[in-house]
Amino acid sequence: MINPIWLKTFKTLVDIGHFTQTAEQLNMTQPGVSQHIAKLEAACHYPLIKRFNKQFELTIHGKKVYQYAQKWLEEEQQLLQELGHDEPFKGKCTLGCSGTLAWLLYSPLLELQMTYPELTIELEATPNERIYEQVHKGAIDIGLVTKPPSTKYFDSQIVGVESLVFVVPSTYDRHLPLTELLPRLGVVRHPDLEHYFHAYLSHSNDPQLAKLDLTSIPSKSYINQVHQVLLPVAKGIGFSVVPKCCVSLFSEQDKLAVLPVTEEIQEPLYLVTKRHAPLAKRYELVVETIQSVLNSCNLLSKNHQEANHV
């Protein structure tokens, strides 16, 4: 490996053309300059200068090393300048979230990118555990999860809530107990179903729901696109558990019914980052956009719920 100090001495010598003046410029002795040049030549395994009458000329190898030194110092200067600038509207933003949130967030984040073309948005829809893994490894900078993060590895803030609902066809038999109704309907599965199902049951105080075992309920369909999960339900095929905002945004809401519960089933949404790894300024816009979308979604769900009770 070439010592960068020797490279700097060599470039300065070539630029000035005199050993004594180079030593003065670098606050060194003349023998010190000569020593740096000798060490650089030894590291390169080729002579870099040819001396004559207290002057010197570059060898063909010296010219190549000088060009390399110029490029290296230019890149170093550019790096130092870039380190001093944390651009708020420029750079790559990487985040991970559930499929539901990706459905909600991707379009607003693209609008943000259209406003600030030098921003790049990379969004991955993936389960909670995968999000934690990627944030910890540095593969993504921020994640949105409903599972509380470990304070040992992650910093977090609550940016919203996710309300969960059991969704069934609007034609469901309201006289059947849930322990009979849901197994008879069967379940429409999706990547987040198991997490949503158990989260719902853990928060619900309904004794009938507490008796349900997801593994014993027949599977009617599977789709990994969350915006299509409610399509089979609307056609009378099965039930599913999804965030309430999915129902609010679904085009055929009149064909769906939400099972009544005594209270809202909500999970906090955590925005997680790697512990002791501050975010760049450009993420301020991203986080603001996320919070705005989540607030709008909660308002939409609330208005939809109130309209259904009129």
- Give tens-digit pLDDT for 60-111: 999 999 999 999 988 888 787 666 667 889 899 999 998 888 888 999 999 9
CATH level 3 topology of 91-162+267-304:
D-Maltodextrin-Binding Protein; domain 2 (3.40.190)
**Under CATH, which number does the domain 163-265 receive?**
3.40.190.10
Q: Which residues pair with 15 in a beta bridge?
A: none
- pLDDT higher for 135 or 1? 135
Would the pLDDT of 290 be above 60?
yes
Tell me phi and psi for residue 236, to 5 degrees.
85, 10
Q: What is the pLDDT of residue 308?
A: 43
Taken in order 119, 124, 128, 134, the sign of the CA dihedral is: negative
Bridge pairing between strands 142-145 and 266-274: antiparallel
Mean of pLDDT values over 17-33: 93
Q: Please compute, for residue 71, the number of CA atoms within 13 A of its CA located in the half-sphere on the CB side.
A: 6
HEC-encoded secondary structure of 243-305? EHHHHHHCCCHHHEEECCCCCCCEEEEEEEEECCCCCCCHHHHHHHHHHHHHHHHHHHHHHHH
* Per-residue pLDDT at 310: 30
Q: Which residue has the higher pLDDT, 84 or 162?
A: 162
Confidence band for 309, pLDDT divided at 50, 70 and 90: very low
| Range(s) within the chain of domains with CATH label 3.40.190.10 | 91-162+267-304, 163-265
Averaged pLDDT for residues 176-181: 91
Instruction: Catalogue the E-assigned strands of the chain.
Output: 49-52, 55-58, 91-97, 119-125, 142-145, 154-169, 187-189, 219-222, 240-243, 256-258, 266-274
* Most confident region among 45-49, 86-90, 265-269 by mean pLDDT: 45-49
pLDDT at residue 171, as a whole number: 93
Number of other residues whose CB lies within 10 A of the CB of residue 201: 19
pLDDT higher for 263 or 218? Answer: 218
**CB-based contacts of 103, cutoff 8 Å, min separation 6:** 226, 227, 246
Q: Average pLDDT for residues 240-253, to the nearest whole number?
A: 88
As a whole number of Å, the CA-based R_g of the chain is 32
pLDDT on residue 100: 81
Report the C-alpha gap between 2 and 174 in whole angstroms: 79
Q: How far is CA 88 from CA 85, 118, 280, 291, in A?
A: 9, 10, 8, 18
> Taking the C-alpha atoms of 230, 192, 210 and 309 in order, what is their torsion angle to the nearest 10 degrees?
-40
Task: Give the CATH number of domain 4-82; options: 1.10.10.10, 1.10.290.10, 1.10.1740.10, 3.30.365.10.
Answer: 1.10.10.10
Quote the mean pLDDT of the chain. 88
Q: What residue ranges of the chain are covered by domains with CATH 1.10.10.10?
A: 4-82
pLDDT for the residue numbered 84: 64
The encoded tokens of residue 232 equal: 């089979």
The answer on pLDDT for 301 being more than 80 is: no
Residue whose token pair is 């109130």? 306
